Amino acid sequence: MSTKFFVSSSPHAFARQNTQNIMLDVLIALLPACGVGIYFFGLRAAIILAVSTFSAVLVEWLIIKLFKRPGSVKDLSAAVTGLLLGMNLSAGVPWWIAMLGSVFAIAIVKHPFGGLGHNFVNPALAGRVFLVASWPVLMTTWVEPGAVDTISSATPMALIKAGQAVDSGMLWNWAIGNASGCIGEVSAIALLLGGIYLMIKKVIRWRIPVTYFLTVFAMSFLLGGMDMMTSYAHILGGGLMLGAIFMATDYTTSPVTPRGQIIMGIGAGLMTAIIRLYSNSAEGVSLSILLMNICVPIIDRLTRPKVFGEVKHNA
């Protein structure tokens, strides 16, 4: 009778999925796309990805240590942010660009607002936008896949913007990743594989990516000249795959309600299509997601689910 057992409030059982293995799954899901990026852009792509990931983790570790913040780099969230940032860069950027982007993402966007789970915009995307604003030329110098030197070439979205007609050969190249663009965005197939993996592992749900894709497809078809090929190109080329599957679904900066997630996907889709079709910029995924990130608190508030058995009150 003298044995004392550990006492706590119920429940006494826990799901096996935890923050660390969720983040690990995201990293695993990103690997195919990284692999294709390295295959087409070579060693320098690998270096960019390594530098961005390593700097993000290092900065996170330093901040946690120096400012005695709660949390740990072991949750792998900084690694995900760093890798995503690297994947959002051209293989032609110097290594210090990758490092600065990661530092900005972790030290400016993530931690001042409370660290993991408290940033109001996606750190990797904010890091990318910071870099585009500061070094616009460096950030938009694209590398021809397979090229040894930095040869400036047009991305699929820039080609479409310029009025290029799309044929099935181009679509195929864009689907496998033989296109110029950011390291991690070029291979639609590899990204889709990662997305399917995350859905099977129940890390992400279908709502945001599927509604995002459908909206962009429908909008680009209706407003982009009723051409199916162009609409396919809007899905397969550019940053939509990476954005819709891996960035718009970021837990912290997307709505928690099922209806809210659908609004997030549609909203980002509308904005992406509008930016791509009507602005000076060929690409609009980053900006759309960032703008939707800012709307998340209000979306959550307006889409609160009905309580089970809720009675209508005449307030």
What is d(CA 267, CA 263) in angstroms, rounded to the nearest whole number? 6
What is d(CA 301, CA 282) in angstroms, rounded to the nearest whole number? 33
Binding residues for another protein, total number by CB under 8 A: 47
- Say what angle helices 258-278 and 207-223 make with each other, to 10 degrees: 30
67 contributes a contact to another protein by CB under 8 A:
no
Please give the DSSP secondary-structure letter assigned to residue 281. -
* Contact stretch for another protein (CB under 8 A) within 18-26, 82-90, 192-200, 268-276: 18-26
Q: Closer to another protein by CB, 114 or 225: give it.
A: 114
Query: Residue 123 in contact with residue 132, Cβ under 8 Å?
Result: no
68 contributes a contact to another protein by CB under 8 A:
no
Interface of this chain with another protein, residues 286 to 315, rule: CB under 8 A: 300, 304-311
End-to-end Cα spacing for the chain: 56
From candidates 228, 258, 279, 294, binder to another protein by CB under 8 A: 258
Q: Can you name the residues that pair with 303 across neighbouring β-strands?
A: none
**Binding track over 100-139 against another protein, x by CB under 8 A:** --------------xxxxx---------------------
Q: Closer to another protein by CB, 71 or 224: give it.
A: 71
Residue type at position 89: L
* Contact stretch for another protein (CB under 8 A) within 10-18, 134-142, 190-198, 230-238: 10-18
Q: Closer to another protein by CB, 6 or 133: give it.
A: 6
* Contact stretch for another protein (CB under 8 A) within 101-109, 123-131, 158-166, 249-257: 249-257
81 contributes a contact to another protein by CB under 8 A:
no
70 contributes a contact to another protein by CB under 8 A:
yes
SS3 content of the chain, % helix, strand, coil (to 5): 65, 0, 35
149 contributes a contact to another protein by CB under 8 A:
no
- Does residue 32 have a cis peptide bond before it, meaning omega lies within 30 degrees of 0? no
How many C-beta atoms lie closer than 10 Å to residue 21's C-beta? 15
Tell the smallest beta-carbon distance from residue 268 to another protein (Å): 17
In 3D space, the residue among 210, 40, 274, 229 whose CA is nearest the CA of residue 142 turns out to be 40
Tell the smallest beta-carbon distance from residue 207 to another protein (Å): 10
71 contributes a contact to another protein by CB under 8 A:
yes
* Contact stretch for another protein (CB under 8 A) within 49-57, 222-230, 254-262, 264-272: 254-262
What is d(CA 302, CA 265) in angstroms, rounded to the nearest whole number? 16
Distances (CA, A) of 227 to 39, 160, 223, 230, 274: 32, 12, 9, 5, 16
Query: Residue 178 in contact with residue 233, Cβ under 8 Å?
Result: no
Q: Closer to another protein by CB, 2 or 280: give it.
A: 2
From candidates 60, 75, 185, 283, binder to another protein by CB under 8 A: 75
Please give the DSSP secondary-structure letter assigned to residue 246. I
Tell the smallest beta-carbon distance from residue 212 to another protein (Å): 17
Q: Closer to another protein by CB, 67 or 308: give it.
A: 308
Tell the smallest beta-carbon distance from residue 6 to another protein (Å): 5
Q: Closer to another protein by CB, 75 or 144: give it.
A: 75
Query: Residue 267 in contact with residue 314, Cβ under 8 Å?
Result: no
Residue type at position 125: L
Which residues in this chain contact another protein in the complex, by CB under 8 A?
A: 1-19, 22, 70-72, 75, 77, 114-118, 251-252, 254-258, 261, 300, 304-311
